[in-house]
């Protein structure tokens, strides 16, 4: 897919935003109301009615904070507020492609702290997995690069990793572009080595989207087919401040359910940010906001759907499995280290006289 096609897709998104803005503000076009009431209860009733068969989830860093991964913009605790030790010219530089190519050390030091595999999926991740298991999830669009959606059981077909992923890595040289897997990159990062290509010695970067890079082609192609068929859009853990991800909200959806963090501004949708969502005006007909943490919001919705016990049992079972797997891996690593130490301590046999 050419860059022109990506720009064309972005242009379609802009047009969708304008159509929906005029429709909601000026009363133009149709505004079919599918929720009996603009509450979480109305959303649950709609899902249970059998009429809601294509749910899209849009998620951001807020769904992973309860796993111990910091978000980006929270004052004091966010990632950008705690990067002073890297001596960056500005916080975002750590994810700037030009800066990375000249100074890769800060990024890989941070990557070691936040590397996938050290955290367990949250209630929110497993709620999305339940939507899949029940045949309701059309797609999950995520801004996250922590791969926790995959750990929770979503597969590549279920996901649009809009900002890329640590799952694969590539050489940054346009003439090479050799691919490397998660285990290769993990070994390099935890050995404190700057990953270099085995083929051409250029830097190797995880396939996350840095500032200055294009989003994955699949993001643009999938949104064209997914959103026109969306029955319910569930937005969690994102401030909708980063484009073009934020503009997805402006694409046509029958109903929209937003879980807002306590620190978020519930008026941002009314001000036209994030697609011009409307929660409480006289013309409101589709958008519902719930103020809570993402995990609490998912538990509350699951309770109304009659899924709460099932969700809690799933989380408990999967966390136990991950803990057990981690214990086995540590034991295996310890045995391997002990074997190496033992072998190194054995004196070599003297050579026989010829």
According to the annotation, is 176 in a ligand binding site? Answer: yes
What is the pLDDT at residue 241? 78
- CA-to-CA distance for 280 and 292, rounded, in angstroms? 18
- CA-to-CA distance for 75 and 212, rounded, in angstroms? 25
Order of strands, sheet of 55-59, starting from the edge strand that comes earlier in the sequence: 159-161, 137-142, 55-59, 232-236, 256-260, 287-291
According to the annotation, is 280 in a ligand binding site? Answer: no
Higher pLDDT residue, 65 or 139? 139
CATH class (in words) of the domain with range 70-118+164-208: alpha beta
Mean pLDDT value of segment 89-110: 86
User: Please, is 213 exposed, middle or buried when counting C-beta atoms within 10 Å of its C-beta (0-12, 13-18, 19+)?
Assistant: middle
Query: Is 262 labeled as catalytic in the residue annotation?
Result: no
Mean pLDDT score of the chain, rounded to an integer?
A: 79
Has residue 71 got a pLDDT over 70? no
What is the pLDDT at residue 18? 45
Q: Is residue 229 a contact partner of residue 252, using CB atoms and an 8 Å limit?
A: no
According to the annotation, is 48 in a ligand binding site? Answer: no
The count of C-alpha atoms lying within 13 angstroms of the C-alpha of 293, restricted to the half-sphere facing its C-beta, is: 11
- CA-to-CA distance for 238 and 317, rounded, in angstroms? 27
Instruction: Return the residue matching tokens 């130490």.
Output: 341
Mean pLDDT value of segment 283-302: 91
Has residue 354 got a pLDDT over 50? no
- Element (DSSP H or E) covering residue 138: strand 137-142
According to the annotation, is 63 in a ligand binding site? Answer: yes
So where are the chain's domains?
33-67+122-163+217-323, 70-118+164-208
pLDDT digit string, tens, across residues 53-62: 999 999 998 8
* Partners of residue 234 on adjacent β-strands: 57, 257
According to the annotation, is 230 in a ligand binding site? Answer: no
Mean pLDDT value of segment 119-146: 95
What is the pLDDT at residue 119? 85
Please, which pLDDT band fits residue 30 given cuts at 50, 70 and 90?
Answer: very low
Dihedral pair phi/psi, residue 237, rounded to 5°: 70, 20
Alpha-helical (H) ranges within the chain are 3-26, 40-48, 97-102, 105-114, 123-133, 148-151, 182-190, 217-226, 294-305, 308-345
Catalytic site residue from 103, 125, 163, 290: 163
Q: Is residue 81 a contact partner of residue 74, using CB atoms and an 8 Å limit?
A: yes
Candidate ranges 27-41, 199-213, 241-255; pick with highest mean pLDDT: 199-213
According to the annotation, is 143 in a ligand binding site? Answer: yes
Has residue 127 got a pLDDT over 80? yes
Mean pLDDT value of segment 134-150: 93
What is the pLDDT at residue 250? 76
pLDDT digit string, tens, across residues 15-24: 554 444 444 4
Instruction: Specify the range with the lowest mean pLDDT, choosing from 121-130, 241-250, 275-284.
Output: 275-284
Which three-class secondary structure state does DSSP give residue 232?
Answer: strand
Query: What is the model's pTM?
Result: 0.77
What is the pLDDT at residue 116? 65
* DSSP, res 30: -
pLDDT digit string, tens, across residues 179-208: 999 889 989 988 888 999 999 999 999 998
- CA-to-CA distance for 315 and 66, rounded, in angstroms? 13
CATH architecture of 33-67+122-163+217-323: 3-Layer(aba) Sandwich (3.40)
Mean pLDDT value of segment 13-38: 56
What is the pLDDT at residue 129? 98
User: Helix, strand, coil % (nearest 5) of the chain?
Assistant: 45, 15, 40
Higher pLDDT residue, 199 or 276? 199
* Closest among 158, 168, 161, 125 to 143, alpha carbons compared: 161
Structure tokens at 189: 């990062």
Please, which pLDDT band fits residue 251 given cuts at 50, 70 and 90?
Answer: confident
Q: Is residue 244 a contact partner of residue 13, using CB atoms and an 8 Å limit?
A: yes
Parallel, antiparallel or unpaired: strands 159-161 and 137-142: parallel
Instruction: Return the residue matching tokens 């891996």.
Output: 329
What is the pLDDT at residue 172? 92
Please, which pLDDT band fits residue 81 given cuts at 50, 70 and 90?
Answer: low
Please, which pLDDT band fits residue 257 given cuts at 50, 70 and 90?
Answer: confident
According to the annotation, is 61 in a ligand binding site? Answer: yes
pLDDT digit string, tens, across residues 322-331: 988 867 666 6
Candidate ranges 37-41, 69-73, 302-306, 332-336; pick with highest mean pLDDT: 302-306
Has residue 175 got a pLDDT over 90? yes
């Amino acid at each position: 897919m050419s860059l022109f096609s990506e720009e064309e897709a972005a242009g379609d998104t802009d047009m969708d935003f304008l159509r929906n803005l005029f429709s909601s503000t000026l009363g133009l076009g149709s505004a079919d109301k599918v929720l009996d009431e603009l509450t979480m209860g109305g959303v649950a009733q709609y899902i249970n009615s059998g009429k809601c068969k294509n749910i899209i989830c849009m998620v951001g860093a807020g769904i992973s904070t309860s796993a111990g991964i910091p978000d980006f913009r929270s004052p004091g605790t966010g990632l950008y507020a705690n990067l002073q030790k890297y001596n960056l010219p500005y916080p975002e530089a750590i994810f700037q492609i030009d800066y990375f190519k000249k100074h890769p050390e800060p990024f890989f030091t941070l990557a070691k702290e936040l590397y996938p595999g050290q955290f367990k999926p949250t209630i929110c991740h497993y709620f999305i997995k339940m939507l899949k298991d029940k045949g309701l999830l059309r797609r999950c669009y995520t801004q996250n690069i922590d791969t926790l959606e995959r750990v929770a059981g979503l597969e590549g077909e279920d996901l649009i990793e809009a900002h890329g992923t640590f799952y694969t890595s590539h050489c940054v040289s346009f003439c090479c572009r050799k691919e490397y897997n998660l285990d290769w990159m993990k070994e390099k990062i935890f050995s404190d080595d700057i990953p270099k290509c085995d083929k051409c010695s250029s830097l190797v970067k995880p396939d996350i989207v840095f500032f200055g890079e294009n989003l994955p082609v699949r993001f643009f192609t999938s949104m064209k087919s997914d959103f026109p068929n969306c029955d319910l859009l569930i937005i969690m853990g994102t401030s909708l401040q980063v484009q073009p991800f934020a503009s997805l909200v402006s694409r046509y959806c029958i109903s929209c359910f937003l879980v807002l963090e306590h620190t978020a501004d519930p008026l941002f949708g009314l001000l036209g940010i994030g697609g011009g969502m409307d929660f409480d005006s006289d013309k409101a007909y589709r958008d519902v906001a719930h103020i809570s943490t993402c995990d609490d919001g998912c538990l509350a919705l699951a309770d109304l759907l009659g899924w709460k016990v099932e969700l809690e049992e799933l989380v408990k079972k999967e966390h136990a499995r991950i803990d057990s797997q981690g214990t086995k891996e540590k034991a295996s690593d310890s045995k391997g280290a002990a074997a190496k130490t033992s072998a190194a301590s054995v004196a070599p046999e003297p050579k026989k006289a010829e």
